[in-house]
Structure 1
Amino acid sequence: MSAAQYYVEHYRALALPDEHLPWLRRLREEARSRFSVGGFPSPREEEWKYTNVAALEKKLFVPTVGAPAGAADTNALARLRLEGAWSLVFVDGIYSAEHSVTADLPEGVIATSLANALEQYPDRIEGLFNQAVPEEAHGFIAFTTAYFRDGAFVHMPAGKVLDKPLQVIHFSTRPDGLAVTRNLIALEQNAGAGIVETYAGAGDSSYLTASVTEISVGENSGLQHYKLQSETVKGYHFGGIYAREARSARFRQHHLAFGGLLARTEIHAQLGHGAECELDGLFLATGRRHLDTQTLIHHRAPCGTSRETYRGIAGDRARGVFSGRIVVHPEAQKTDAEMSNRNLLLSEDAEIDSKPQLEIHADDVKCAHGVTVGQLDPEAVFYLESRGVDEPTARNMLTFAFANEMVEKIRLSSLKKLVQDELLSFLPQSDIRKDWL
């Protein structure tokens, strides 16, 4: 039995929140039909040539039926929580009210589970759902549309600004479990928010997380969006972040990938007139990890500005992938776009594939991109050794410095501390002290 057949068979057993919504049932049925025919993406598809998900055909994961059977590790959740933040917590893909913190949200702000929102705000959801994902949706997007049971719904009314971050935690507890979620984030005009998505799991279990986040940033609104992917060493992860920006909107996204045996995140943005987009990212792959980041920015209107800065580190026998594409459409005159990707190899067996792309269909634009893949500078290592630092510590210090330039761009101090702790845990025999930072 193929993976597609297996999941189609399980489809009927799921309690899905769409019985009273014909439009959602129709979307699910169309998605399930596409997935049953095409299955998960193949390396034969150009955008998946570096990432083979054939392992998902061999290892079949069990969807959550009914309430989650696993209990969230409160200590693990405490480690993931950001100090002073509101939170929506999902355990094995299902909202956990007991672990969430939503008291004292500003009046009019909605932060709840998508399943609840489909009951309370179905018309609002219909206007947002499936609006930002690519028209030619691949197998994973079809999969999430067909199988999601829950996710986060965040709505910011016009003029509202959050004075502290909102964290959305997705935590997996079940070995061989499947957690599928869809998240919707919408800011009306002149609104502002900082939202952090965090993905992690318990122990060293193997599981599959598939999550799609759709974002709508209204006119003259600003969203700082962070994603921390810290799945277990045996976890599988697919994440998609798809944003639409209205006139003069500002979208800043920071992607941090440290976990998972096989993990891929897509980040797409569509810019309106005068919109600004900043994409920053860092991945650190060790062991046998395979970490893939794909970005796509569509400049669809004049006077848009975009900046991309990504760094990757790969050691042992790990593999990293970065593919960044900027498309400037004919009507997008006065576009200003830059992309930079720098990568560091820590061993001879590690590999990083980088593919920057500019596709320009307008003549009055300013666009540039650059990419490097290299190793630690031997002279820099020698310089530290000559001052009494042993070689492993010297290499760790230089690696940390390379990565920390991206970590320093995080504007939330509590998240920056959490990420630095994650980064230090990956450096073997590290003698770097926290009080140096």
Structure 2
Amino acid sequence: MNTVIKTRYSAEYSKLEPALPGRSLPWLTALRASALDKFTGNGFPSIREEEWRYTNVSGIEKNLFVPTDQPSSATVDKEWLDRFRLPDCWSFVLVDGYFSAELSQLDGLPEGVVVQSLAKSLDTDAEQVKPYFAQAVSDDEHSFVAFNTAWFCDGLFLKVPKKQALTQPIQLLHVTTQQERLSTTRTIIVLEPMAEAQVIETYVGVEQAYLSAAVTEVFVEANANLTLYKVQCESAKAYHFGGTYVKQARDARFIHHNFAFGGLLARCDIHCDLDNASECDLNGLYLGNQRQHLDNHTRINHLQPNAVSREMYKGVLAGRSRGVFQGRVVVAENAQKTDSQMNNRNLLLSDDAEADTKPQLEIYADDVKCSHGVTVGQLDEKSVFYLQSRCVDEETARNMLTFAFANEMVNKLTIKSLHDLVLNQVLERFPQQGISKDWL
């Protein structure tokens, strides 16, 4: 990052700092100061870093995105927003990074469940936040995490008490309404022992250039069960970074479904630390078109014995788009009886599309069962010919096979309203014309 950009970001931070939540908390002030120093010293991640070698974020520096003042909910087109709001869910809405009570719907939450603005939690009951903040990920991970720690303005604090099972999902709806602006949010999700919940993160925005930088820290305690969904359908001109960092206790179960459709450049990190006999299931689908760049980076750390992890990511890439998948499984020395499988499948629809995939297994134990598989290719011509032999024209045959390839990941969704939302996004953003719901 050059000196001019550093100076500009420092100047913008000095304007924002007096309004940041938790200014009276010495521990948070120290964390912000340390994070700002790290970001100022390192800048945004560079392709010289191994974890970012396939993703060049210099476009973010050139645009010089600046934070917004706290917006009014009146700036949001409610009819447009309702396209993404899911029925039969509690909804928590963040507009340009700030909680909107007017647009949120939280009536009927069970007693003892905490769902509130992170800024409010820091101002009114910081002691319940402190044990979790920056505990699932540190600012040393990379500069985007440090950037978020220093700059975050608001977010969500969710805590589900022991043995409580939520009867419906909670939708966390991130909405960006202004161009050339910066939206930074921090989310903390805590499930106490034997609790159960489903949380849906949805990212949407106006069709302009802006930057979303979000960090989610997740703590799934003993025998708890969390299913987390992420639907990223940002503007085609937007930049997006979203990091999800998970700590699983003994016998905890975590499932993640990640759908990346929008953004000129979008990066999603998912890192999970597994304790004894815990389970982790990561699923993902990314659709790239034109000049989109979609990067998915996963890391599963098997730290204790008997844990199980499964991972399946699929990409469909057309035009001059580029898809990146970096999947890493680390098995610690004492993590015997680990069972891990990783798969990444990529379908290229044009000669100019590109898929970069890098699966990694680091195994330091000797009694494990681990595997990975990767494919990058085009449609199977034999399958196309088979459909043609059944009186299907060639274009429709190719469309059907491509859609079936992607729809396998959509069909993993068991919440009907979410399934319909994701399916509609797939049909809307699919590179080809002529895809039909009648095929389902």
TM class by smaller structure: over 0.9
TM-superposed deviation, 1:430: 3.2
Please show how residues 63-212 of structure 1 align to structure 2 within 5 Å. 63-67=67-71, 71-134=75-138, 136-202=140-206, 204-212=207-215
1:385 equivalent in structure 2: 388
1:219 equivalent in structure 2: 222
Please show how residues 27-66 of structure 1 align to structure 2 within 5 Å. 27-66=31-70
Residues 184 and 53 of structure 1: CA distance in aligned 2, closer, same or farther (over 3 Å) = same
Q: Of 333, 336, 341, which aligns to 1:338?
A: 341
What is the CA deviation profile of residues 151-174 of structure 1, one whole-angstrom value per residue up to 9, with x for unaligned ones?
A: 111100001111111000001110
Q: Structure 1: any 5+ residue segments left out of the alignment?
A: none
TM-superposed deviation, 1:429: 5.3
What is the CA deviation profile of residues 106-152 of structure 1, one whole-angstrom value per residue up to 9, with x for unaligned ones?
A: 11001111111112220110000000014632110000000000011
1:21 equivalent in structure 2: 25
1:266 equivalent in structure 2: 269
What is the one-letter code of the residue matched to 2:295?
D
Is the contact between residue 139 and residue 146 of structure 2 (CA under 8 Å) also seen in structure 1?
no
What is the one-letter code of the residue matched to 1:336?
D
Whole-angstrom CA distance in 1 between matches of 2:388 and 2:304? 52
Greater displacement, 424-433 / 390-399: 424-433
Whole-angstrom CA distance in 2 between matches of 1:2 and 1:397? 50
- The answer to whether the aligner puts 1:280 opposite 2:289 as a matched pair is no
1:12 equivalent in structure 2: 14
Is the contact between residue 392 and residue 429 of structure 1 (CA under 8 Å) also seen in structure 2?
no
- The answer to whether the aligner puts 1:436 opposite 2:434 as a matched pair is no
Whole-angstrom CA distance in 1 between matches of 2:311 and 2:431? 29
What is the CA deviation profile of residues 213-234 of structure 1, one whole-angstrom value per residue up to 9, with x for unaligned ones?
A: 0000010000000000111110
Q: What's the secondary structure of 1:5's corresponding residue?
A: helix
Is the contact between residue 330 and residue 362 of structure 2 (CA under 8 Å) also seen in structure 1?
yes
Residues 89 and 105 of structure 1: CA distance in aligned 2, closer, same or farther (over 3 Å) = same
Q: Of 355, 360, 363, which aligns to 2:358?
A: 355
Residues 70 and 355 of structure 1: CA distance in aligned 2, closer, same or farther (over 3 Å) = farther
TM-score when normalising by structure 2: 0.97
TM-superposed deviation, 1:74: 1.0
Residues 298 and 411 of structure 1: CA distance in aligned 2, closer, same or farther (over 3 Å) = same
Is the contact between residue 3 and residue 39 of structure 1 (CA under 8 Å) also seen in structure 2?
no
Residues 154 and 20 of structure 1: CA distance in aligned 2, closer, same or farther (over 3 Å) = same
TM-score when normalising by structure 1: 0.97
TM-superposed deviation, 1:75: 1.9
What is the one-letter code of the residue matched to 1:319?
R
What is the CA deviation profile of residues 58-96 of structure 1, one whole-angstrom value per residue up to 9, with x for unaligned ones?
A: 111121124458711212210111121001001111111
CA RMSD, 1 decimal: 1.3
Is the contact between residue 257 and residue 283 of structure 1 (CA under 8 Å) also seen in structure 2?
yes
What is the one-letter code of the residue matched to 1:398?
L
What is the one-letter code of the residue matched to 2:5?
A
Greater displacement, 425-434 / 352-361: 425-434
Whole-angstrom CA distance in 2 between matches of 1:349 and 1:255? 25
Is the contact between residue 296 and residue 324 of structure 1 (CA under 8 Å) also seen in structure 2?
yes
Q: What's the secondary structure of 1:420's corresponding residue?
A: helix
- The answer to whether the aligner puts 1:297 opposite 2:303 as a matched pair is no
Q: Structure 2: any 5+ residue segments left out of the alignment?
A: none
Q: What's the secondary structure of 1:97's corresponding residue?
A: strand
What is the one-letter code of the residue matched to 2:149?
T
Is the contact between residue 239 and residue 265 of structure 2 (CA under 8 Å) also seen in structure 1?
yes
